[in-house]
């Protein structure tokens, strides 16, 4: 009936008004919240790979006549590598851990890069690649081969402290895995398959389930691939050129563009050798990479050399502070550059604390600004301002001794001078009670208006119901007539 339709229209109108109000509040919250700038540390573009120089950190002799150092990764305390003795399940491979720092995990001084521990009790297949996940505290080893019949498409799990085998993860039955890298920010893994899988680049989630198959990668000028590592958008690996007499190369693959963006020849400044082979690469720290190179010198000596390179890199500097003006919040800065930070308190406030990466800085030495020099990592700078202290200096009023002294006592009259921040605090304090009273009054009035609204709606519904009953009685009476 018409009356019922009017009632429904009234309800729908109220619902629309409520939905509109909710949407407006959500929109307002989103506007007030804002969005943070997408500013992240990363390698400084494709051109960063154009002129790479290598510094040798240390070397170690290969332990067996046919042994080859196949892969390397870094943990918080160690540089860990696998020397593949042979592709023979009956011969265990050797896992070596070298001290990454000048102190061990207990803070005791050690010789950096010296051997910390060595274990040879497991056959790690070919041990072609490794990646360390600091969140799980595990190393994942890309086997490449499956001389053990059920190892096809598997990863081995290594304990980074004992260097022991912990378990095995089955990724696929369709291919073996050449190399593996870990994307810390995304909590994902990047693997490269063997030739059976077309040397394809694949992204796996934290449970080693396929997220994205990027398709095949071309190993040219080589014919296969070694291990890989991941840094931001880039996958870095070495094409296998063993026996081709064309030297060693580095490939750089972009995950976002799904293609190889650079193929760079490598020069390790070696003079006395008859064979070299770059095997594996990992990231020591942001934009700093470690690679292992197997070398056979002219006298037949066999060793593995550990090299480091530093790439051009963008770091982020985040500056926070309120009650004043500070340098813009999030900025990208190139490696080695300096970054000046300025800050000015609002009227009535003063600088009270300054911290760089959580470490307090003497504000007396840097009252107006601070400069980050030779930036080699991300930094966070916090600037704090607080209200200036209350002044206790007396200010004469101009009245002489005894003038205007209602108490009858003699002596100069003084007033306390308040600085702007003190005045602000005083005003706020004096307004607390009125604000409370006003708030209570608003609540009471709002509740009263709400009750009136409910009563009015109730009367309207009763009137509509009465009208509907009358119409129904009229219609029934008309039908009887």
The neighbouring-strand residues paired with 332 are 316
Contact between 315 and 379 under an 8 Å Cβ cutoff? The reply is yes
Q: How far apart are CA 362 and CA 353, in angstroms?
A: 8
Specify the pLDDT at position 286.
92
Which has the closest alpha carbon to 270: 298, 229, 237, 244? Answer: 298
Token representation of residue 1: 């009936």
Which has the closest alpha carbon to 353: 319, 384, 329? Answer: 384
Q: How far apart are CA 203 and CA 186, in angstroms?
A: 11
Whether the predicted pLDDT of 334 surpasses 70: yes
Higher pLDDT, 125 or 408: 125
Bond from prior residue into 234 cis (ω within 30 degrees of 0): no
Helix (H), strand (E) at residue 6: helix 2-33
Torsion of CA 389, 393, 395, 396, to 10 degrees: 170
Higher pLDDT, 403 or 256: 256
Specify the pLDDT at position 343.
93
Whether the predicted pLDDT of 172 surpasses 60: yes
Specify the pLDDT at position 459.
79
Please give the average per-residue pLDDT across 361-371, as a whole number. 93
Cβ neighbours for 425, distance < 8 A, ≥ 6 positions apart? 387
| Mean of per-residue pLDDT scores for the chain | 84
Whether the predicted pLDDT of 178 surpasses 60: yes
Token representation of residue 54: 């290598």
Threshold 0.75, pTM exceeds: no
Token representation of residue 177: 């895995």
Cα 107 to Cα 101, 103, 110: the distances in Å are 10, 5, 9
What digits encode the pLDDT tens for the residues 24-75?
Answer: 343 333 333 333 334 678 998 999 999 899 999 999 999 998 899 999 999 9
Higher pLDDT, 473 or 16: 473
Q: How far apart are CA 224 and CA 197, in angstroms?
A: 12
Higher pLDDT, 5 or 210: 210
What digits encode the pLDDT tens for the residues 427-440?
Answer: 444 444 555 666 78
**∠ at Cα 77 (80, 45), nearest 5°?**
75
Q: What percent of the chain has pLDDT over 90?
A: 63
Q: How far apart are CA 422 and CA 10, in angstroms?
A: 54
DSSP letter assigned to residue 48: G
What digits encode the pLDDT tens for the residues 274-317?
Answer: 899 999 999 999 999 999 999 999 888 999 999 999 999 999 99
The per-residue b/e assignment along 40-58, b for 16 or more CB within 10 angstroms, e otherwise, is ebbbbeeebbeeeebeeeb
Strands across the sheet containing 288-296: 55-61, 302-310, 288-296, 275-285
Token representation of residue 431: 């307004």
Q: How far apart are CA 407 and CA 244, in angstroms?
A: 107
- Band (pLDDT 50/70/90 cuts) for residue 15 is very low
What is the gyration radius of the CA atoms in the chain, in angstroms? 37
Specify the pLDDT at position 397.
54
Whether the predicted pLDDT of 175 surpasses 60: yes
Helix (H), strand (E) at residue 28: helix 2-33
Specify the pLDDT at position 389.
86
Measured from the Cβ of residue 158, the count of other Cβ atoms closer than 10 Å reads: 26
Specify the pLDDT at position 434.
57
Specify the pLDDT at position 39.
61
Please give the average per-residue pLDDT across 402-412, as a whole number. 46
- Band (pLDDT 50/70/90 cuts) for residue 426 is very low
Please give the average per-residue pLDDT across 110-127, as a whole number. 97
What digits encode the pLDDT tens for the residues 224-241?
Answer: 999 999 999 999 999 999
Ramachandran category for residue 107: left, alpha or beta (phi over 0 → left; psi -120 to 50 → alpha): left
Whether the predicted pLDDT of 401 surpasses 90: no
Specify the pLDDT at position 481.
62
């Amino acid at each position: 009936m018409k009356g019922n339709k009017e009632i429904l229209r009234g309800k729908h109108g109220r619902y629309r008004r409520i939905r509109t109000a909710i949407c407006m509040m959500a929109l307002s919250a989103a506007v007030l919240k804002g969005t943070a700038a997408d500013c992240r540390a990363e390698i400084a573009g494709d051109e960063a790979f154009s002129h790479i120089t290598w510094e040798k950190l240390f070397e170690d002799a290969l332990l067996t006549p046919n042994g080859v150092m196949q892969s390397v990764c870094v943990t918080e305390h160690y540089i860990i590598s696998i020397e593949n003795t042979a592709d023979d399940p009956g011969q265990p491979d050797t896992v070596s851990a070298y001290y990454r720092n000048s102190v061990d995990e207990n803070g005791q001084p050690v010789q950096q890069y010296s051997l910390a521990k060595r274990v040879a009790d497991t056959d790690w297949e070919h041990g072609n690649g490794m990646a360390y996940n600091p969140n799980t505290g595990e190393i994942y080893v890309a086997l490449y081969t499956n001389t053990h019949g059920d190892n096809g498409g598997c990863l081995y799990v290594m304990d980074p402290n004992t260097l022991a085998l912990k378990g095995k993860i089955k990724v696929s039955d369709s291919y073996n895995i050449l190399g593996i890298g870990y994307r810390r920010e995304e909590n994902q893994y990047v693997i490269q398959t063997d030739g059976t899988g077309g040397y394809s680049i694949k992204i796996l989630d934290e449970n080693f389930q396929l997220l994205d198959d990027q398709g095949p990668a071309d190993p040219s000028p080589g014919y296969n691939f070694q291990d890989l590592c991941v840094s931001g958008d880039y996958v870095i690996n070495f094409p296998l050129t063993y026996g081709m007499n064309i030297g060693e190369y580095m490939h750089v693959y972009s995950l976002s563009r799904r293609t190889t963006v650079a193929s760079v020849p490598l020069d390790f400044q070696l003079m006395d050798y008859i064979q070299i082979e770059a095997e594996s690469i990992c990231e020591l720290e942001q934009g700093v990479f470690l690679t292992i190179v197997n070398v056979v010198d002219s006298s037949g000596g066999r060793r593995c050399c550990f090299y480091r390179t530093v790439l051009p890199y963008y770091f982020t500097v985040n500056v926070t502070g309120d009650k004043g003006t500070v340098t813009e919040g999030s900025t990208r800065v190139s490696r080695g550059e300096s970054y000046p930070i300025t800050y000015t308190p609002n009227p009535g406030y003063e600088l009270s604390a300054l911290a760089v990466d959580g470490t307090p800085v003497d504000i007396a030495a840097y009252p107006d600004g601070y400069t980050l020099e030779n930036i080699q990592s991300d930094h966070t700078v916090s600037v704090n301002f607080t209200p200036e202290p209350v002044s206790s200096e007396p200010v004469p009023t101009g009245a002489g001794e005894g003038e205007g002294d209602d108490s009858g006592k003699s002596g100069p009259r003084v007033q306390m001078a308040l600085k702007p921040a003190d005045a602000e605090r005083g005003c706020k304090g004096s307004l607390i009670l009125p604000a409370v009273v006003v708030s209570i009054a608003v609540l009471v009035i709002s509740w009263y208006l709400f009750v009136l609204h409910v009563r009015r709606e109730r009367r309207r519904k009763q009137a509509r119901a009465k009208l509907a009953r009358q119409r129904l009685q009229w219609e029934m009476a008309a039908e009887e007539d």
